[in-house]
Structure 1
Amino acid sequence: MTQSAAQQGNGPLPRQIPYIIANEACERFSFYGMRNILTPFLISTLLLFIPLADRPSEAKHVFHTFVIGVYFFPLLGGWLADRFFGKYNTVFWFSLIYCAGHACLAVFEKNLEGFYLGLALIAFGSGGIKPLVASFVGDQFDQTNKNRAKVVFDAFYWSINFGSFFASLLMPIFLRDYGGAVAFGIPGILMFVATFVLWLGRKKYVHVPPAAPNPNSFMNVAKTALLSTAPGKSRVGLHFAVIGVIGALGSLAMTPKWGFVIAACTALVLLLAFGGIGTSMQLERARGKHSDEGVDGVRAVLRIFIVFALVTPFWSLFDQKASTWIVQANDMTHPTYELLGWSFSFVPAQMQALNPLLVMLLIPFNNLALLPILRAIGIEPTALRRMGAGIFFSALSWVVIGTIQVVMDGGTPVSMAWQILPYALLTFGEVLVSATGLEFAYSQAPSSMKGAIMSLWYLAVTVGNLWVLILNSSVKNEAVSAYIASTGFSVMAFQMYFFAAFAGLAAAIFAWYATRYRMVDNYRPEPDPNLCYGTTTAPQTSTPKPA
């Protein structure tokens, strides 16, 4: 490596990266292999005790509840890694729990309680490692090779979709032809392989040790800001935080009516929203009692929260391709195709294979063609601009899918092939939002909170699926159903247009906020001799870092 290349951030690619990429490809095969057949399996096999007309709605509820769990537990995984065990150890042990969950799905394919236990273990295990693998990738870079990080993050995301493509294409066939035990067992085997590959590279990784207890941590600074007084000033920020607590308690009190998942997630949203607003209003009161770096770090995190909140409508739309879009595809015509004398037709769940296939095509297209063209004509495709455009394209995809539903509701048979267009639009939006979001979340996170910030990035997915559960429950209300009927749309078409409008509004607000967001660079400054290389022993302590 030449000195000039290192100074410019173009140093060599870390040799341990292939282990992480291979681990991610196998793990994503296992996750999407079971996730993408979950809705059809529930409808066709596990929920037979429910009336046929109610099965799609119940299957959607189970599916999105599972996804909420998957993206809630990153809070736990990020905290454990940041404070106690480090990223590698946390990922390895949660992966073993993940494997146990897959085993339960295969063994208890016809036992409701056992199957739901498997889903819970997968949500716990998958969620626990989810925020850490991407940030573990980032830990392998420093200022000498940071420009390679974007290529690796794209390769990381490409590997996710490589595994997802084959899982989406094959698992619906295995489910149809061999049943749930085989269809859920194969992803379990791939998860074991993923864990083994991660273990093989253990002596090559850069291990950033967890931060020691930090008096300038996010929670300590926020607590000081909220509780501090200032001469001649009221504590409006504290009042906002208290409103959030009261609202959260009120939400939990609605558990019998709303269900625990909706009530608990809504309570969490209220605590984060009002607590964050209150902290930002009084944050300067913590200056002097905490380091300037700590206070500025909290301000940076609060600004990141806003970006994450505005991304939640995207996840509402994206995750329904594995539920609402499959339900729609079940009611479409399934044409037969001829290839080299072989006739075949697609199972509805196989349409999801379009998503990872298009991702693998769009990532190199964007990097080699679209983004250079935009730069050539004077438009810099910054991370926030890409993410805002991605939310807009996701909204457009739901305008198309809703229009298809209106045509179907009118009695016109529609081929499943018509879903290709909305899949293409949604996938283009995904590449702009999700792949970019991984890079954005890592680069903007203060050094001692990278695991936690990545957890909050994934928490945005939980909130996105919360919106789906809320709307799905709302349409069961008689007043809401009557209003939808008065519009002339079916319930499904109305929901599709509603989510399109929801994401469109979020895209507009995101574009406005992006013009006011100041980007920072939080990659490690240079190779650090205090970091652990090639060891999996107990985590070291380190000098407290500002949060």
Structure 2
Amino acid sequence: MARPPSATAPQRFPPQIPYIIGNEACERFSFYGMRNILTVFLIDYLLRNAVPDEGARSAQAKSLMHLFMAGVYFCPLLGGYLADRWLGKYKVIFWLSLVYCLGHAFLAIFENNATGFYTGLVLISLGSGGIKPCVSAMVGDQFTEDNKHLVKKVFAIFYWTINFGSFFASLLIPLTLKHLGPAVAFGIPGVLMFLATVIFWAGRKHYVVVPPTGPNPHSFLKVVFSALRAPKRRGTHWLDGATREHPAEAVEGAKAVLRVSGLLLPTIPFFWMLFDQKASTWVIQARAMDPQVGPFTFQPSQMQFINPALVMILIPLLVGLVYPAFQRAGWELTPLRRMPLGLAVGAVSYAIAGYFQVVLERGTVLNIAWQLLPYVVLTLAEILVSTTGLEFAYTQAPREMKGIVQSLWLLTSTLANVAVAIAAALNVFTGSGQFFFYGGLALLAAVGMGLMARRYQVHDYYQVDAASVVPDRAQPPPARESQAL
């Protein structure tokens, strides 16, 4: 158990944090604004003439949406590599944000042109995905050993901010699509992304910037290849043989990558298979429901506002009350306990949604308000898995590997969305069967992760002090490196 902060430890966040948080709020509005209407736009606009049958059109729209999401979560590998090795996080975030803005412009301009529209999606995948690991890792870079007790809180606020932007985007952009058309509906998120870029740029003189390492003779792959060539010694880790050619810190970094990826990659994709389908499968289910709730008529894609609204409520509740209560009771909800629990809770949400689908298939009309119940359960699962994963991926990686390990966390979404896209394109599962299938997979993953977590060795890494990093300049001194524990 971590020691409590001393009485002299700083209690306030570094002054540069608001710039990053403000950037994140606007960027998330832009992303979720366009993503949450993507399935409906493809079904009702772009594919309408090309694919007359609505069932086939829905399946194709779902496949395209998840291919786009797979791209969004694959590009962090590129962004993390460029940031860690060559450009640094600040430059990657700034320049790819401009690519991101260009992608939004393509969506607004080419609403009736499939080639232009898909080009815009590719640009957004590159921009949004490329900055993802850099922004979250840059938040952590602003902290040292002196104020590391604030990291848990800042990541909770960071995730709360994501949902703040998502909430308003989910409420407003579906209505904009219905009443003002695709050009305006995709144009507004583009304006917000430009604002996000300006806010981030405005804080450029205040950030603590960890310089890139440059070409690394002790990279993860080189350590692995050295270990494979080295003779094996009984009773040691198979990577230890690489210490003949690489420093101990590099070998430890490679071990950290293997530890984290060995736990996350086989299990967490099954959660994202559930969660990301709220923008496709759950929207399609909502199209078959009665949209009238009292005096309000909800758009099917608008129901996604429930998720970020609940996150903003539940995160403070869990972080401020529930987690401390478990800790006082002597059973701390550690990250290795939260994530398997979240997977199991996610499976329950799909069992509920699957039951609703069975009722719909029998010809009974359900009100769209019934989706509130599975959304509540899925959101609780998201907080247990996703907020925890952001914190876990950052703290479990040495300084030179933080961007890459954050990318591995995001890569779990790529694997999930590729699997869902293929299943949708082949039309393998339809109706209620798909809900129970994906829920069952998540439940198995929860059991597997719980068993693997028992053997996982936790290693937390933070920067030792602020003297090892430098404020951002046009050319940060490449020779200055931050220390890691």
Superposition TM-score, scaled by structure 1 size:
0.84
1:109 positional shift: 0.7
- Which residue of 114, 127, 130 corresponds with 1:128? 130
Deviates more, 1:373-382 or 1:26-35: 373-382
Query: In the TM superposition, what whole-angstrom CA distance separates every residue of 1:442-483 from its partner, at most 9, and x where no partner exists?
Result: 10011101111111111111011122123324545xxxx7xx
Q: CA RMSD in A?
A: 2.1
1:541 positional shift: 3.0
Find the aligned partners of 2:224 and 2:479 in 1 and give their Cα distance.
Answer: 24
Checking the alignment, whether the CA contact within 8 Å between 1:47 and 1:55 is kept in structure 2 is yes
- Which residue of 378, 392, 398 corresponds with 1:446? 398
Find the aligned partners of 1:465 and 1:386 in 2 and give their Cα distance.
Answer: 23
- Which residue of 122, 145, 151 corresponds with 2:153? 151
Which residue of 2 is the match for residue 12 of structure 1?
A: 12
Deviates more, 1:137-146 or 1:532-541: 532-541
Deviates more, 1:511-520 or 1:101-110: 511-520
Which amino acid is 1:37 matched to? I
Which amino acid is 2:62 matched to? K
Find the aligned partners of 2:309 and 2:82 in 1 and give their Cα distance.
Answer: 34
- Which residue of 365, 380, 389 corresponds with 1:413? 365
- Which residue of 517, 530, 535 corresponds with 2:473? 535
1:21 positional shift: 0.3
Segments of 5+ residues of structure 2 without an aligned counterpart are none
Which residue of 2 is the match for residue 460 of structure 1?
A: 412
SS for the counterpart of 1:146 is helix
Which residue of 1 is the match for residue 447 of structure 2?
A: 508
Which residue of 1 is the match for residue 244 of structure 2?
A: 288
Find the aligned partners of 1:133 and 1:472 in 2 and give their Cα distance.
Answer: 32
Query: In the TM superposition, what whole-angstrom CA distance separates every residue of 1:201-239 from its partner, at most 9, and x where no partner exists?
Result: 00000011011433322111011122345599xxxxxxx
Which residue of 1 is the match for residue 213 of structure 2?
A: 211
SS for the counterpart of 2:90 is helix
Which residue of 2 is the match for residue 335 of structure 1?
A: 292
Count of residue correspondences: 478
Checking the alignment, whether the CA contact within 8 Å between 1:202 and 1:536 is kept in structure 2 is no
Checking the alignment, whether the CA contact within 8 Å between 1:389 and 1:507 is kept in structure 2 is yes
Find the aligned partners of 1:539 and 1:401 in 2 and give their Cα distance.
Answer: 54
Checking the alignment, whether the CA contact within 8 Å between 1:29 and 1:167 is kept in structure 2 is yes
Query: In the TM superposition, what whole-angstrom CA distance separates every residue of 1:417-448 from its partner, at most 9, and x where no partner exists?
Result: 11111100110011111111111111001110
Which residue of 1 is the match for residue 190 of structure 2?
A: 188
- The verdict on how the C-alpha distance between 1:393 and 1:230 changes in structure 2, with shifts beyond 3 A counting, is closer
Find the aligned partners of 2:44 and 2:174 in 1 and give their Cα distance.
Answer: 12
Which residue of 2 is the match for residue 55 of structure 1?
A: 57
- Which residue of 399, 406, 425 corresponds with 2:351? 399
Checking the alignment, whether the CA contact within 8 Å between 2:5 and 2:149 is kept in structure 1 is no
1:6 positional shift: 6.3
Which residue of 2 is the match for residue 43 of structure 1?
A: 43
Which structure has the bigger radius of gyration? 1
Which amino acid is 1:492 matched to? G
Alignment of 1:318-333 (within 5 A): 318-333=275-290
SS for the counterpart of 1:329 is helix
- The verdict on how the C-alpha distance between 1:398 and 1:8 changes in structure 2, with shifts beyond 3 A counting, is farther
Find the aligned partners of 2:276 and 2:247 in 1 and give their Cα distance.
Answer: 41
SS for the counterpart of 2:312 is helix
SS for the counterpart of 2:272 is helix
Find the aligned partners of 1:95 and 1:185 in 2 and give their Cα distance.
Answer: 16
SS for the counterpart of 2:292 is coil
Which amino acid is 2:277 matched to? Q
Find the aligned partners of 2:352 and 2:478 in 1 and give their Cα distance.
Answer: 53
Which amino acid is 2:473 matched to? T
Which residue of 1 is the match for residue 108 of structure 2?
A: 106
Superposition TM-score, scaled by structure 2 size:
0.94
